[in-house]
Structure 1
């Protein structure tokens, strides 16, 4: 498991300003197609480019304000979306002869922690691409106020990921965070107070990754490598049921890994529990230990609890006035920072198992789902051993498909929001959840099948 990376308390994290640069945007937009070609990534924009071209033309003419909510299955999403917004949408607008008086610029929310683990260069690019840094584990009023103002003014569309973080699964969506609805209704109220009649719409975008070729031999070879690494005797393949054999092998690998973690945490699992139930118990145990250390209440879903733990750790690692502490106080602050970092490591380990389950493959045992789950397990093992796992042979190049969903109006719900804010936000998030789910690959395949039957 990685050693604590923090040994001393550090100065408080400063707020990262938004410093958009058209020059940086122009350079990045030219480099993106080269990046995708080098990675073998094929991008299919479906209806997204044309639909967004119409929406941006309306927005730039002052006809509406836009909040774009996208599915977030991969860390590649930002560059794929950047290519969509900066390259494909202007091209579609020219084809459709739609006026775009200004180059497309955006404002988007990103986690303040990204520059910490991704590096200063990524942080610099995020700032100059229109990013608004937000602390997700606390009520970050300045960041929310900036996002609210951007959405109300309507000069730039606001882009958010309602899931809050990646889950690395194209076929399963993480719980949506209610902050999206709150921002939308705040902005709608601000427009009403300013007698601004522009409609406010939320546009959902679905993102789906898949492999261009289904190389099952590569899957089998990587399963064998994992079994050898963990000292597992690989089961003989069943030619009558190859999907079931691979699923059983992957679950056995996951179970072996889980047993080691349970021993580390002195957990005594119920032998009658399923693999999924044992993973769930391990997650809750890890979160509870970290929450106990920071005296946090165990409320909310898994993602919300992880964000609060992360913020509590940062509050002890990045401290105001750390340079003014006496030698004794500084030593104690360093001690507290090291302990906080260890709890943060425990939470990160739980995060690596957030999406690991047995049902994801059982529900639909196709190549894409199996490959995604295999990559999650490999990544978890590499992270625990503090040595990235180099899975070989390659699973091959990928493709990504983007789909634009139906717009969700916000201002028509304002009266209902004033009567019962909590219920209205809940209903709006349900509608957004359904709109994003309808853009997922399973939903699209189902609708196509039903259309053919009809």
Structure 2
């Protein structure tokens, strides 16, 4: 994510309404396959197109309402899913002889912060494609109400990413946020109160990226280029393994970050423990600044810090402030942006861990981790670094798991809501975890 530089307080973020446009969808429906082809990204739908064709057929018949939860390893996921829903599912329905009386139109939840860093054009497109903007770091009642209404009405499927953010790793999933399970239970309650006979289907969708060929020579050259960029000495024969070289690069990166944050380096600690200490240090400093209590997961803590920063940067009372108060608001906004940058640092380096390569030293994992490191260094230097040669064209494999029967857990939810939400979240986590293996 690009780094921002806030020098003054800004007007409050306005709510972005959902303004779907069929004409925009039709244009994107034709354009997206061309973009994917230009990126040399090969789509392998696996069982996803056929399974979803059956699900959308049942939904358009009025038998079900759909809540689709997808793995979110990459920023390319929305484009991949749009091609799946708008192009491949209708083709699969035709091949299966299933009737889809109307074009597939979706509603999906996206982070309100995306238009801030991606720009107004992306924000406009998100609105026109059925997006529901949500503030992830707080209880956004209007957005949740809209999402709940979508499921109650049942005309559109609701698409969500329960991880909350990308980690750029196809083989490792972040802990899921409980909001998806909570939304599913709310919707089941709404259907029951309305005496609506439709069933809610919570459908997990797996997304896995890989390279079409294992070009170890290109990977070696990219590692050498990165080592030269960091002025590292040539590695010995015992350190030629990609995992050792990546850990060595990560260690140099962590040395610099520890110096930046004035964290004493502990020579007796291994790399993962040092990284965990750095992450905890950065989050605690930001939380202390904003007066926040630590959350249960790194993702939750990052979202709460982000929201606290936004509350101080984007303010709804700027016009009523006198000159002194306005100057102090600008000062507070600059300090909030500094803490937001500290949180972004944690996000960028959290995936740079040797654990990802311990179990399986495969090309795809090495390539993904290399790109995560390159991205972190580029962000720190505030400029792109040389990242040649290319590792080659990629493919993306899509898969769909069995729908989770939310209604069966309704009584449990009514007895103990927190326990039922945690249980359904765990089931969804296990289902998505099972879809991460190559199909």
- How would you bin the TM-score normalised by the shorter chain? over 0.9
Report the alpha carbon displacement of residue 220 of structure 1 after superposing the two structures with TM: 1.0
- TM-score computed with the length of structure 1 as normaliser: 0.95
* 1:20-55 deviation per Cα after TM superposition (whole angstroms, max 9, x unaligned): 011000000100111011111100000000110000
State which of 358, 363, 373 in structure 2 corresponds to 1:362. Answer: 358
1:182-261 matches, cutoff 5 A: 182-237=182-237, 245-261=241-257
Partner secondary structure for residue 201 of structure 1: strand
Mapped pair 1:417 → 2:409 = no
**Within 2, Cα distance between the matches of 1:215 and 1:373?**
15
Q: Name the counterpart of 1:448.
A: none
* 1:156-204 deviation per Cα after TM superposition (whole angstroms, max 9, x unaligned): 0100001000010000010000000000000000111000011111000
- TM-score computed with the length of structure 2 as normaliser: 0.98
Mapped pair 1:53 → 2:53 = yes
Mapped pair 1:434 → 2:405 = no
* 1:210-238 deviation per Cα after TM superposition (whole angstroms, max 9, x unaligned): 00111111111111111111121121345
Report the alpha carbon displacement of residue 325 of structure 1 after superposing the two structures with TM: 1.4
Q: Name the counterpart of 1:286.
A: 282
Q: Name the counterpart of 1:319.
A: 315
Partner secondary structure for residue 197 of structure 2: coil
**Within 2, Cα distance between the matches of 1:388 and 1:14?**
32
**Within 2, Cα distance between the matches of 1:164 and 1:329?**
35
**Within 2, Cα distance between the matches of 1:390 and 1:403?**
34
Unaligned runs of 5+ in 1: 445-454
Residues 163, 3 of structure 1: alpha-carbon distance in 2 compared, 3 angstrom cutoff: closer
Residues 33, 18 of structure 1: alpha-carbon distance in 2 compared, 3 angstrom cutoff: same
**Within 1, Cα distance between the matches of 2:265 and 2:233?**
23
**Within 1, Cα distance between the matches of 2:350 and 2:267?**
22
Mapped pair 1:383 → 2:397 = no
Report the alpha carbon displacement of residue 324 of structure 1 after superposing the two structures with TM: 2.4
1:132-143 matches, cutoff 5 A: 132-143=132-143
* 1:99-134 deviation per Cα after TM superposition (whole angstroms, max 9, x unaligned): 101100011000000000111111111001000000
Report the alpha carbon displacement of residue 3 of structure 1 after superposing the two structures with TM: 7.7
Partner secondary structure for residue 441 of structure 1: coil
Q: Is contact 1:68–1:160 with CA below 8 Å preserved after alignment?
A: yes
Aligned residues: 438
**Within 2, Cα distance between the matches of 1:305 and 1:107?**
27
**Within 2, Cα distance between the matches of 1:95 and 1:3?**
47
Partner secondary structure for residue 309 of structure 2: helix
**Within 1, Cα distance between the matches of 2:233 and 2:245?**
10
**Within 2, Cα distance between the matches of 1:356 and 1:434?**
24
Q: Is contact 2:225–2:386 with CA below 8 Å preserved after alignment?
A: no
Following TM superposition, the consecutive aligned residue runs of length 4 or more in structure 1 with deviations greater than 3 angstroms are: none
Superposed CA RMSD: 1.2
Mapped pair 1:99 → 2:95 = no
Q: Is contact 1:4–1:342 with CA below 8 Å preserved after alignment?
A: no
Report the alpha carbon displacement of residue 4 of structure 1 after superposing the two structures with TM: 5.8
* 1:47-99 deviation per Cα after TM superposition (whole angstroms, max 9, x unaligned): 00011000000000100011000000000000000000000001111111111
Q: Name the counterpart of 1:121.
A: 121
**Within 2, Cα distance between the matches of 1:246 and 1:198?**
52
* 1:330-370 deviation per Cα after TM superposition (whole angstroms, max 9, x unaligned): 11111110110011001000000121210111211010000
Q: Is contact 1:69–1:203 with CA below 8 Å preserved after alignment?
A: yes
State which of 295, 306, 329 in structure 2 corresponds to 1:310. Answer: 306
Partner secondary structure for residue 402 of structure 1: strand
Q: Is contact 1:222–1:391 with CA below 8 Å preserved after alignment?
A: yes
**Within 2, Cα distance between the matches of 1:302 and 1:350?**
9
**Within 1, Cα distance between the matches of 2:320 and 2:30?**
47
Mapped pair 1:392 → 2:383 = no
Q: Name the counterpart of 1:86.
A: 86
Q: Name the counterpart of 1:265.
A: 261
State which of 296, 307, 323 in structure 1 corresponds to 2:292. Answer: 296
Q: Name the counterpart of 1:16.
A: 16
Mapped pair 1:65 → 2:61 = no
1:5-44 matches, cutoff 5 A: 5-44=5-44
Q: Is contact 1:234–1:249 with CA below 8 Å preserved after alignment?
A: no
State which of 355, 368, 373 in structure 2 corresponds to 1:372. Answer: 368
**Within 2, Cα distance between the matches of 1:365 and 1:152?**
46
Partner secondary structure for residue 235 of structure 1: coil
